[in-house]
Amino acid sequence: MVAGQEASPGDARSTERLMKYWAEGAGAVKIQWGTPGDWYRCVAELGKYVPDSQVKGLCENLHERATGMTTAEHTKLINAKAHKHGSHGDA
C-alpha cells in the first residue's frame, strides 16, 4: 500500500498472510508466544522490517492473536501463578 491510496484486496491478503506467519506459523516458532520474553522477541524480530513507530503496537496485536490475551493480561496471569506456587514466607 502506498500513502494516500486505499488498500486493495491484495494488500489485505498480504497483510493477513504476514499476520498468520508471525502469530501461528514459522514466525511464531521464532517468537515462542506464551513464554517469558515473547513480546520482546517479537519487537526484536519484527523491528528488522517494521518502523519503530509501529512495531510495538504490531507485536501487541500479534501477542493477543497468538495467545488470546493482551500482554497485560498475560503478565497478570503469570504473576498470579507465581504467587500461588511461590514461597509461603519460609526462609
pLDDT truncated to tens, each residue of the chain (91 aa)? 455 666 677 888 999 999 999 999 999 999 999 999 999 999 999 999 999 999 999 999 999 999 999 999 998 988 888 888 765 544 4
What grid cell was written down for 9? 484486496
Domain assignment of residue 88, yes or no: no
Domain assignment of residue 42, yes or no: yes
Angstrom CA distances, 61 to 7, 26, 85, 90, stand at 19, 17, 29, 40
pTM of the model as a whole: 0.78
Domain assignment of residue 3, yes or no: no
Domain assignment of residue 11, yes or no: no
Domain assignment of residue 23, yes or no: no
Number of separate domains in the chain: 1
| Full domain range(s) for residue 63 | 32-82
The pLDDT of residue 3 is 56
The pLDDT of residue 5 is 64
Please return the burial class of 69, using the count of CB atoms within 10 Å of its CB with bins 0-12, 13-18 and 19+: middle
The pLDDT of residue 8 is 76
